[in-house]
Structure 1
Amino acid sequence: MDQRLYQPVGFKWASRRSGFEISKFGMHDSTFIFCEIPALDPAKMSGFSNAAFSFANSNKSVGLPNGFFMSVSCFPVAITSNADPQLMQIVKGTTPTKHFGGFEMPVVFDTTTGALAYYEGTPLWGAAYFSGFRKVVVNNLA
């Protein structure tokens, strides 16, 4: 993505892969958004995740509304050092926000330990896709 789109809103990097996916019933944008956040806490993580999803949804490759041959997955990656272990557990155990035709999976990367934290469960409403979303995180970040 063009840095003139994402840097003014405070994101360090953003990357989007777009294409037709039969399993998503149409076009799909998969967007990773990275931000360095010192002293990360659950409120900051939630705010960043919401802002990242809004950004990804507002900057789709196709102007169709979500759910109608268009879907968006967003992976907001908060980069921090010395992440609180309790925060890491909260991220691993908190079900991501549900969106119509959209998905967000917050990720924390601790630069001190190299640890990644992301939701490890599978909600009923996302059972068909969550295994694949976790693979996307591992394949791109681990």
Structure 2
Amino acid sequence: MTETRQYVDDISSSLRAAGYAVELHAIGGWPTLTGYRADFRLRWMATKLHTFVCVRSVPVVTVDELSAFATASLEYTKAAKGAMRGAQSGVAAIAVLVGETVEPAAAEYARKELVRHFAAFAWPVTVDLSTGQRSSHQGRPAIGAIYTGWMRKQIAATLPAL
């Protein structure tokens, strides 16, 4: 458990270094480390993306837990900054579950699934402390593809390698 706390502390430092405002919130009833930043890019069709990184630790990451946390993280981001979604603005949640272990089905879910709503999406990520593996979406989504490079860059910048 000490290793898990240390890794989450490392994420907090990485978030700050990457320009995120860092706070603790309850998301879906769970204590969650959150990082927030807003960025505007012309190449994103002149939109502002409100990006949240939501991090929670659990003993074992399961598909059900990852799916529920990704959905709860997306709902949190929509409530926090999603009032004007679609009017040149969107919200994204990188929903990270850090576990002492990760079930293979949960890692597969993270590699294949995104949670999407109108002008909002959640990008599930698992971190397996026992193997050092990080799993997140592979491939190029059909909807929201212009943000793919940004999301991968944020995951790399904010989730330290093990």
Amino acid aligned to 2:84: P
Give the aligned partner of residue 135 of structure 1: 153
Give the aligned partner of residue 80 of structure 1: 99
SS at 2:76 equivalent: helix
Give the aligned partner of residue 31 of structure 1: 52
Name the structure where strand makes up a greater proportion of residues.
2
Amino acid aligned to 2:135: A
Does 2:116 match 1:95?
Answer: no
SS at 1:67 equivalent: coil
State whether residues 17 and 29 of structure 1, in contact with CA within 8 Å, keep that contact through their aligned partners in structure 2: yes
The structural deviation recorded for 1:57 is 1.4
1:30-50: CA deviation from partner (whole Å, max 9, x where unpaired): 100011122321111100100
SS at 1:119 equivalent: coil
d(CA) in 2 for partners of 1:13 and 1:101?
23
State the TM-score, normalizing by the size of structure 2.
0.74
Give the aligned partner of residue 16 of structure 1: 36
- What's the % identity of the aligned pairs? 21
Aligned Cα root-mean-square deviation (Å): 2.0
The structural deviation recorded for 1:136 is 1.8
State the TM-score, normalizing by the size of structure 1.
0.83
The structural deviation recorded for 1:140 is 1.9
Question: Where in structure 2 are there 5+ consecutive unaligned residues?
Answer: 1-21
State whether residues 11 and 33 of structure 1, in contact with CA within 8 Å, keep that contact through their aligned partners in structure 2: no
d(CA) in 1 for partners of 2:124 and 2:73?
9
